[in-house]
Structure 1
């Protein structure tokens, strides 16, 4: 009797928790389409893979939220499809899904009416869902309006945002450039125009509009909704985009001179970090792999010692991953050094950051050296961290562990 009561209790708790978020159908895509037709709803399809960390984060932190469930359950037939298994492989090819997570809003005929690519929070997902159910804001309707000559600034913002959601950034930039072409530099101090510049990467370094903004910071900040951080971000993105385009065109000395020239015109709030990243890009783009490793480790450790965990871990994880899986870095034969660096970084970040990639790269390095004990220790640590973060263990990780055991 106690077992029955306990089972019922667990079942009730599960149902309550489940009902707070999105109720995903357990059938096939074809069955979802049939239900879609009967209920006169759109399909919301979460396209994911087992190895995609942002997908897991969406499932854990966003899809479980009550307000997300309330809206999507009322307006959509919801389904999750692994794009690398079964029918998911066909759907991946049919809909051209190449980034994860990708969330597709599909009508009863199987046509995509709206797309959201990449992780997004609760508010953004609900807003994207609202766009999907509004025929006037769906992709085809926006394109039709634009083709017919609609050029209201707020409409242009919606169009660019729709393109950005699909990661069609070049097309978004072109739309913005075409729209802003008739605007003189002194005409851009308008909230909508600044928004278009900010979301489209269409402000060009050295242009009249760029120079105008350099000279009119105070006027920019006085605009509705504007602030100093927005000003810095707009100029920072513009400068970074320009300098990044020079990495394979200039020598190191010339590239550093270009950085200095841009700095003399406008010094970003995160100037040093930007310069470090730009030099990383220079070494990477020019295939100077050892210099990239040395540069990233130098500044990554420096940031970590100063407590700048985010920038520090970003730099070091990038190159440790390359030494683990990139053949060009493996040929550098710096595994022993990478082990020493990774162990030092773990010590520097202890109690400050939980990143499973440190233990995973160490497991790879020790396995490469034939050190079964240390490789097992680190792969087990990696699995423990993943579980503590609520991340589903990828079968490939378990296969990797078995490979280590067979050493």
Structure 2
């Protein structure tokens, strides 16, 4: 009896705790939500989610229930959740939204999750947000969604009604890209570029870099055939990097993971790439082999191709790549000549910024090469610069080094 009394006492408190976050409408329809928003003169916040989306679950479990989030949202919005996929476990409330969900997905080109749609009190769309966020950033985004100057669809409506000055087009193109509206982003970007007299300015090349996503885009020909002019403005190798990014996506990656599980035909792929893109074919094939063999956990081939890539193109590797390649060598290679090479790559990775993780890689390589005293000194430096779990991991590694343990394969 006491347990029942205690439970009955706690239930109102639990209800109060649950009400502190965003209040979402339940057992209602899209038409009902619109009518309520109009009657209360509030905006509509629509969480378009799927049952398989990790960031969607994070927002529901960690952000929406927060009191400060609820205090802001409940005062200004009528909020509703709309499940965009369909499962066998769906209840009647979810099923009643099936038709509306399909229409919303089609009308607003929802391609990523979570997508949050914002409607004015009269029901017309004014903004969209894509992706999860921490509480303060989420509130900031929702505050911006109330301001016509920062509402995406309000600005897009100005474009459709004839505003076409270059400053506006540039800003709107970036906004469309940020909002995952790829179709309008591409159209607005093309219009902006058509008004530019010189595409080889720093601002325009940076813009082109953002909006060149396929070999059919205007900028691809510039990056491919006028690399010298691009690199003169953006820096050495920038044109080739953009071309390789697109070629990898269109010509290489589709050939890697075959449905029958067979290995890629590297010879045929290299022949094809050399015919179309001779300037980048060899480098792209080597980089792709490193990625592929690392992914399928083929250590010998991964190491072989890392060494081959670094021998010819190592001067182009950025700090992140240098660290990744060096760490793979630490884990998978026991040849001392290979270890010595990786030490040089690793040291370069933190030449300009002493990143703890990169220094840890260097310390591990030193230890594996038999330079214990140097390894201890660098691992301690990495530990002192790190924080939280990262710091604890380096403390553990340091202890293993002091004991002379072998902790790799």
2:129 aligned residue (116, 122, 136): 116
Matched residues, number: 274
Matched, 1:204 2:220: yes
Matched-pair contact (CA < 8 Å) for 1:184–1:209: no
Contact residue 44 and residue 104 of structure 1 kept, 8 A: yes
Check the 8 A contact 2:117/2:129 in 1, yes or no: yes
Deviation at 1:22, TM superposition (A): 2.0
Alignment partner of 1:146 is 2:133: no
- Partner in structure 1 of residue 249 of structure 2: 244
Q: Aligned partners of 1:273, 1:164: CA distance in 2, in Å?
A: 29
Q: Secondary structure at the match of 1:96?
A: helix
Once the two structures are superposed, the pairs formed by residues 1-400 of structure 1 within 5 Å of their partners are 3-5=4-6, 7-9=8-10, 11-12=12-13, 15-16=16-17, 18-19=19-20, 21-29=21-29, 30-83=31-84, 84=86, 85-96=94-105, 99=111, 100-122=113-135, 125-147=138-160, 148-153=162-167, 156-165=170-179, 167-181=180-194, 182-187=196-201, 189-190=202-203, 193=204, 196-201=207-212, 203-204=219-220, 206-207=222-223, 211-217=228-234, 236-247=241-252, 251-257=268-274, 261-262=279-280, 296-298=295-297
TM-score, scaled relative to structure 1: 0.53
Aligned CA distance change for structure 1 residues 173 and 123 (closer, same or farther; 3 Å): farther
| Alignment partners' CA distance in 2, 1:67 and 1:300 | 49
| Residue 209 of structure 1, CA deviation | 7.2
Q: Matched residues in 2 for 1:200 and 1:296: separation?
A: 29
Q: Give the TM-score, by structure 2 length.
A: 0.53
- For residues 52-92 of structure 1, what are the alpha-carbon distances to aligned partners after superposition, in whole Å with 9 as ceiling and x for unaligned? 33321221233234554343222211111334332210111
Distance 2:143 2:49 in 1: 22
Given that residues 205 and 230 in structure 2 are in contact (C-alpha distance below 8 angstroms), is that contact kept between their aligned partners in structure 1? Answer: no
Unpaired stretches in structure 2, ≥5 consecutive residues: 87-93, 256-266, 307-322, 329-409
Preserved CA contact (<8 Å) 1:169 1:200: no
Higher relative contact order (CA 8 A, sep 6+): 1
CA distance in 1, matches of 2:271, 2:182: 29
Distance in 2 of aligned mates of 1:8 and 1:161: 50
Alpha-carbon distance change, 145 to 35 in structure 1, aligned in 2, over 3 angstroms: closer
- Tell me which moved more, 58-67 or 33-42: 58-67
* Structure 2 contact 129–141 (Cα < 8 Å) conserved: yes
Shift of 1:39: 1.7
Runs of 4+, deviation exceeding 6 Å: 300-304
Give the unaligned 5+ runs of structure 1. 221-230, 281-293, 313-407
Residues 263/159 of structure 1: CA separation in 2 closer, same or farther (3 Å cut): same
